[in-house]
A and B are shown apart, each in its own frame.
Chain A
Amino acid sequence: MTSVAAAEATAGTASGRWGRRLGHLPTHVVVILLMFLWLIPTIGLFINSFRPSQAVQSSGWWDIIFQPSQVTLQNYQYVLGQSGLWPGFINSLFITIPATIIPIFVAAFAAYAFAWMDFPGRNVLFVAIVGLLVVPLQTTFIPILQLYGSVHIDIGPIQINNLNGQFLALWLAHTGYGLPFAVYLLRNFMGGLPREVFESASIDGASPVTAFFQLALPMSVPAIAALAIFQFLFVWNDLLVALIYLGAANPQNDPLTIVVANLVNSLGSGWWYLAAAAFISMALPLAVFFTLQRYFVRGIVGGSVKG
């Protein structure tokens, strides 16, 4: 077979190469067409976000080709200045960062126990946790809303009545919701680390805590990075969980997703600045996505069980 391939390679004259390229032409046409179709909606939004209100209302984004002078930053100025979008951005950060960090730690401990400690029922328990992926978040809302509502803490400076409407409500909920997938992903990765490393550490007298912090955790950085991106995007882009635990109770704490969703519903006539608002809400996840795409892809491919 190799000899045939070699013979073909030597026979690859100029005309042969052209023939082959032309043979690929339909592939190129279809791929480029699909890329174009997938890009158009975002490009349209991006261009509209820089067009003045009267232009957005009277013509489509492609009009910019005929009137390039219409580019303006007024939508962004308005959106960031007056429409509540900037507080929304800050709220999204407040919600997302702790809701990404906490589950990673909690999941890493559990994943390490599942991967490198022996105990009765280990596999059954692990499958049960992965099985919790079947639970749609909807099934948890009502009891947790009521549980949050009944929280009453009064210890000196810390006074919390009713967790609904507080960031803490989302941090805790997102930790719980993210755990089955996080434990699954990290356990699979840690389980694949070389056994000898942990055995020799144990022989050298290292405690599990030392082995965890000095070996397992540093070696699991790719999986942790994948997980962090996952959880970050999930929480940043989440609308439903935020609506349930914040939306009604405390609009001041609403993240960008809710602010933008409210803009859609309240802006009959003023949706010219909606494009700018949507683009601001996309900026951070897109930046994370483009810089860390490699890890993100690895996380998806490694964890395709997630529902």
Chain B
Amino acid sequence: MDPRLITAVIVVVGVPAVLVGYIVATEQVLRIFPGRVQPRIRPWLWLAPALAFLFVFLIYPTIGTAVRSLQDQLGTKWVGLDNYAWFFSDNGTLSALKNNVIWVVLLTVLAVGFGLLIAVLVDRVRYESIAKSVIFMPLAISGTAASVIWLFMFAYQPQGAAQTGTLNAVLTPLGVGPVPFLTVSNFSFNTILLVIVSTWTWTGFCMVIISAALKGINPELLEAARVDGANEWQVFRGIILPLLTPTLAVVSTTIIITALKAFDIVYVMTNGNFDTQVIANEMYQVMFNFGDFGRGSAVAIVLMLAIIPVMALNIRRFQAQEAIR
């Protein structure tokens, strides 16, 4: 038998047993203390495992990376802000940065836009749940598999040969192609193609959240407007859209962060070639192809600094929500 199977069984059964045992044991430990003190100690015992994991896997390494970003390749010498100076002057990283901006703008517009459109439209048809499942399904597919799916969509054969890629098979008879997708460098065209793959994945996410907010709008409100003679477009612009604004804001921030962290699709489909490099893939290459953990750390910190303001907005909103609760 595979020894790893034994390990896995031990882990699947043993780890929950240990964790449950831990919580039960805390009550025994608490008995030592006087009853008055117990409620003050207990929460910390319940929080301890989570806090330990968060410290070791998020807090400590973030500090470590920030420190490491001020050191050289091997971590033997302090170099001040040199790694950041490299990041903001190197042609490769600047091009990655530019592509990430394209990702952020385009993915947000496309995924949130399509998500809104589909959420509003399927609300009016009887096969709503099937339609939603179809749009939502790509979210369960890994970035790797999505990349393979779209490599077949974008496949390119030279002029004259039978096209095997779906898009070129449609475009060529129209006289537009064959288009050499993802195989030659030309401005940001290839990056846009990768954003389309990601749009295919994330539209369902946006649609589901927007749709839930849409169901929360009082139908009498819409009906009243219609009775007063408003057409569907006026109902949408005047009532639905303003009520959806907070939801659209939350969905947009999530998508912006997704776009900033884009990695899988780029790694698998082009590996950053043909003018498609992004920050996350740049970091991976700096770390593993060039073994430069100093620069890699600086790239990671830049990524985090880009995410913080977006996330801060979300948490602010979350706190406002908590205040109402």
The interface of chain A, by Cβ under 8 A from chain B, is: 1, 4-5, 24, 27-28, 30-31, 34-35, 38-42, 44-45, 48, 56-62, 90, 94, 97-98, 101-103, 105-107, 109-110, 112-114, 117-119, 122-123, 125, 127, 129-144, 147, 167, 171-173, 175-177, 179-180, 183, 207-209, 212-213, 233, 236-240, 243, 248, 256-257, 260-261, 264-265, 271, 274-275, 277-279, 281-282, 285-286, 288-290, 293, 296-297, 300-301, 304-307
Instruction: Decide: A119 near B254, CB < 8 A? Known: A31-B131, A180-B58, A301-B212.
Output: no
Interface string of B251-263 (1 = CB under 8 A from A): 1011001101101
CB contact between B53 and one of A4, A27, A179, A236 (< 8 Å): that residue: A179
Minimum CB–CB distance for A294 against chain B, Å: 10
Complex Cα distance, B166 from A131, in Å, reads: 43
Interface string of B274-298 (1 = CB under 8 A from A): 0000001001100110000100110
Q: Are A239 and B27 in contact (CB under 8 A)?
A: no
Q: Is B169 positioned at the interface, with any CB of A under 8 Å from its CB?
A: yes
Of chain A, the residue at the smallest CB distance from B50 is A110
Complex Cα distance, B60 from A176, in Å, reads: 12
Q: Which of B12-53 contact A (CB under 8 A)?
A: 12, 15-16, 19-20, 23-24, 26-27, 39-40, 42-44, 46-47, 49-51, 53
Complex Cα distance, B312 from A4, in Å, reads: 48
What would 24 A/B residue contacts be, using CB atoms closer than 8 Å?
A24-B125, A30-B121, A41-B149, A41-B150, A62-B166, A94-B4, A97-B12, A106-B49, A114-B47, A119-B44, A127-B319, A135-B62, A136-B303, A139-B61, A142-B287, A171-B11, A239-B267, A264-B269, A275-B152, A301-B212, A304-B254, A305-B250, A305-B318, A307-B253
CB contact between B65 and one of A31, A103, A139, A207 (< 8 Å): that residue: A139
The interface of chain B, by Cβ under 8 A from chain A, is: 2, 4, 7-8, 11-12, 15-16, 19-20, 23-24, 26-27, 39-40, 42-44, 46-47, 49-51, 53-54, 56-62, 64-65, 68, 114, 117-118, 121-122, 124-125, 130-131, 133-145, 147-153, 162-166, 169, 200, 203, 205, 208-209, 212, 220, 223-224, 227, 250-251, 253-254, 257-258, 260-261, 263-264, 267-269, 271, 280, 283-284, 287-288, 293, 296-297, 299-301, 303-304, 307-308, 310-312, 314-315, 318-319, 322
Instruction: Decide: A129 near B54, CB < 8 A? Known: A139-B61, A264-B268, A305-B315.
Output: yes
Apart from the given pairs A34-B117, A167-B4, 7 other A-B contacts in the complex at a CB distance below 8 Å: A45-B149, A60-B162, A60-B164, A112-B46, A144-B61, A275-B148, A279-B145
Q: Are B61 and A142 in contact (CB under 8 A)?
A: yes
Complex Cα distance, B302 from A139, in Å, reads: 9
Q: Are A142 and B297 in contact (CB under 8 A)?
A: yes
Q: Are B251 and A304 in contact (CB under 8 A)?
A: yes
Instruction: Decide: A183 near B50, CB < 8 A? Known: A98-B12, A140-B65, A141-B300.
Output: yes
**Residues of chain B with a CB closer than 8 A to A58's CB:** 162, 164
Q: Are B53 and A48 in contact (CB under 8 A)?
A: no
Q: Are A307 and B165 in contact (CB under 8 A)?
A: no
Minimum CB–CB distance for B285 against chain A, Å: 12
Q: Are A35 and B149 in contact (CB under 8 A)?
A: no
Q: Are B64 and A282 in contact (CB under 8 A)?
A: no
CB contact between A208 and one of B2, B42, B121 (< 8 Å): that residue: B42
**Residues of chain A with a CB closer than 8 A to B311's CB:** 131, 133-134, 307
Q: Are B209 and A261 in contact (CB under 8 A)?
A: no
Instruction: Decide: A237 near B142, CB < 8 A? Known: A119-B44, A275-B152, A301-B209.
Output: yes
CB contact between B148 and one of A140, A209, A264 (< 8 Å): that residue: A264
**Residues of chain B with a CB closer than 8 A to A300's CB:** 205, 208-209
Minimum CB–CB distance for A147 against chain B, Å: 8
Instruction: Decide: A35 near B19, CB < 8 A? Known: A60-B166, A117-B42.
Output: no
Q: Are A117 and B264 in contact (CB under 8 A)?
A: no
Q: Are A44 and B149 in contact (CB under 8 A)?
A: yes
Q: Are B125 and A38 in contact (CB under 8 A)?
A: no
**Residues of chain B with a CB closer than 8 A to A277's CB:** 148
**Residues of chain A with a CB closer than 8 A to B268's CB:** 239, 261, 264
